[in-house]
Structures are given as C-alpha cells and as structure tokens.
Amino acid sequence: MLNLKFIQENPELVVEKLKKKHFEAASIVQQITALSVKKNEIQATADQCKAEMNKISKEVGILMREGKTDEANAAKNRTAELKDSIKQLDEDFARIDQEVFNIQVLLPNLPSDLVPEGRTPEDNLIVKSHGEIPVLPENSVPHWELAKKYDIIDFELGVKITGAGFPVYKGKGARIQRALISFFLDEARASGYLEIQPPLMVNEDSGFGTGQLPDKEGQMYHATEDNLYLIPTAEVPVTNIYRDVIVEAKDLPIKNTAYSACFRREAGSYGKDVRGLNRLHQFDKVEIVQIAHPDNSYELLDGMVAHVAGLVEKLELPYRILRLCGGDMSFTSALTYDFEVFSAAQEKWLEVSSVSNFESFQANRLKLRYRDEVTKKPVIAHTLNGSALALPRILAALLENNQTPEGIRIPKVLIPYCGFDLID
C-alpha cells in the first residue's frame, strides 16, 4: 500500500509513475486529496470544540464558587452540546478515514525507474540468456506423453479424484518431485535462508498484508464457512510472520525459505498453454523471502536473482531472465525479474520463477517495521520474494529436454536426491 502522506505530498508523481503500469490513478488520487482536506477540516473543528470545552470546564468551577449558578448551568449545557458535536465529528472523521483507506488500497505499487515501458509480455526486456537449446532425438514427445509412457504422472486420475489441474505423481515421478523440493530447500539453507513450514491456509488479514486481497480474491480458493483462503504461494504466510512486528535493524536482512503446495484457481485459463504441467490448480514450490533495509533491498534482489540462476544452471536447463515491463507487472511489485526455461519438445519458453522487490508496499500494509539504530524510531521495511523454484514447468522441461532412446536422463545434481539416474 502506498504511503498516504507520500500520495498527499506527491499526487502528480504518483499519477505519472503509475502510467508505466498503465493504471489511471488521477481519479483515485483526486478523491484521496479531496477527502483528506475534509478530514483536516473536521479535525480542526473538533480541536476547536475540545479547546472550548476545556476552557468552559475550567470556568464552571469558578462560576459555582462565585454563586453564579445560572451561568454555571448554561456553561454545563454548552459543554454537553460540545460533547455531542465532538462525538459526531469523530464519527465523521472515522468514516472519511475509512473511505480514504478503501480508495488508497486500490492504488498499485509504483514501478521502479528500472522497469521498462510496455504493455504485454512481448515488451519484457531480456537481460540474460544462458545455455544451449537442446537438440532432441527423432520421435521426441512433450512431457504429458512421456508421463503416460513411463507411468510417472497420471493426469486423468487427477481429474477423477479432484478435477483438471490436479495431477497424481507416481513412482519415479513422485520421487523426482520430492528430490526437487529437497534440492531447492538445501540450496536455500546453504545460502543463509531459515527454513519455515507454514500453514497452507490464511485469514483475510494475511491475504491483505501481502496484497492478494482485495486484488486477487477471485484467483484464490476460499473456504467460505471459516473465511480462510488456500495459499497461492508460501510468500503469503511466510511474509505475514512479520505482520505488526518491529524488527531490529541489526537483524536485517531476515531470510526465510519454505516449501508448500500452492493453490490457484487460474480462472479463464484454457487451450494448449494449459496442457500437462503447463498450468495447474495445485502445484509445489519452494519460496525465498527477505525482509530488508531500504538502503540495500535492490542489492539483495540481485542476490536473489543470482540464487535462482544458480539453481537452473545446476539443473542443466537453458534459461533466460526477463525484466518485466510496466504492463506485465503485478499489483504489488516495484521491480520483477522472470525466469523462463526452454521446453525443447514444446519449442517454447516456460516461466518458472518470479523474483520481486516490493519496496515498502507490502510492509506498509503489514505494519512491518525495523527500529532505526540512530533515531530508535520504527521505520517501514522492504520486502522481497522469489520462486526458487516452482516445480511443474521445471519438471516439464527436465522430462522433455533429457529424453533419450534409453529413457529420461536425470541431471547429475538430482541423482543423490532421486536415488536413480534414469527414468525407463
């Protein structure tokens, strides 16, 4: 959530910067400005009433001691009138304050100056490419056919049990899932991340804190009776560990990692792009989250990008890193890098990770602060997170790119985790 004072003091800047995200903010900013003026007027009137009431209250005792009963009673009546006025003014102030808040949360985060112009994924900037595109043997097939051939993923059984987008992993398919999770978690811990096992459901406050609510409620599974949401990513519960918390500056950055199942409705998804593992309603992912000092959050973002790049390289997958343009960024992000791996059988790039700096946007919603070492005052922190990594499309690329006439080769780094070097 953008800081209210910043909006009030920089209305034109907010409107101009959000144009890069193709968000028309002028009307919202104008409403905030107008309502803020009303709030100030109400507050000024309330302060005047309180000052008058305090003055009269002191005079009542003097009037009574002087025997001026009628004047004292008139003063008491005026005090009662002022109390009623103050009560009404306080109610009006609270109502308008809530109106401002409701409008304020509709504004997306401001994009960093590093964000390129553009509206669609085609406008994203490729900042790095690594690895050679594999040449597959004749008669190579996409991963959903490999899954059926080697009986490692059963999509139809998932439909029977739950519905489309909920695959069942079997045998070596299940084991490679577990291997990837363990590998990703071990790499994160080796990079200084504390492992967390979070809940898979969150309340409204948690959804609001990281920006899923009120923006993305239609994309989350909602347990209506208990008013809980299945998490779309471990970012939500892990970041909310620090909601309403003041951390010490010396403890920054705080680095957490978590494996979780993730649940996304993916409403409106259809066609060839949702085949097999390309787009699921339930999938596994390892997340990395950092709570950072504002002075070095972009340096830490570069480190997180390097961490994810190291994972993909160890898996021997060709990849590219894209800096997302304004029109393709999320509501909450200030700067995002996407990772894509090349799927040789499908002959396309598949997104496998997003690594983002949210600056103070989430932290402002979360009331997540650090105590400044000099002033000792609480200051809003920065938050960052990244997928390290999401499993489905990584597995799709691994299966497709490593298929041979003998079977599917397992990357060297995963063999100790899998316990086998070939799916045959």
Q: Is 168 marked as a binding-site residue?
A: no
Distance CA 75, CA 78 (A): 5
CA 127/CA 146 separation, integer angstroms: 32
Cα torsion angle, 147, 155, 278, 390, sign: negative
| Distance (Å, whole) CA 71 – CA 304 | 73
- Residue 270 to residues 126, 278, 281, 293, 366: CA-CA distances in angstroms? 27, 11, 12, 41, 35
Structure tokens at 22: 């193709």
409 annotated as a binding-site residue: no
122 is in an annotated binding site: no
Q: Ramachandran region of residue 140, left (φ > 0), alpha (ψ -120 to 50) or beta?
A: beta
Distance CA 330, CA 171 (A): 37
99 marked among binding-site residues: no
| Intra-chain end-to-end CA distance of the chain, in Å | 51
- Is 356 assigned to a binding site? no
CA 379 to chain centre: 20
Q: Is 57 annotated as a binding residue?
A: no
Q: Which of 338, 348, 322, 337 is nearest to 401 (CA)?
A: 348
Q: Residue 65 annotated as binding?
A: no
Nearest to 241 by CA among 362, 142, 334, 360: 362
Check the annotation: does 37 bind a ligand. no
Tell me whether residue 203 is annotated as binding: no
Cis peptide bond N-terminal to 389, omega within 30: yes
d(C-alpha 23, C-alpha 17), whole Å: 9
Q: Which residues contact 303 (CB under 8 A, 6 or more apart)?
A: none
Binding-site residue ranges for ATP: 264-266, 351-354
Binding-site residue ranges: 233, 264-266, 287, 351-354, 385
Binding-site residue ranges for L-serine: 233, 264, 287, 385
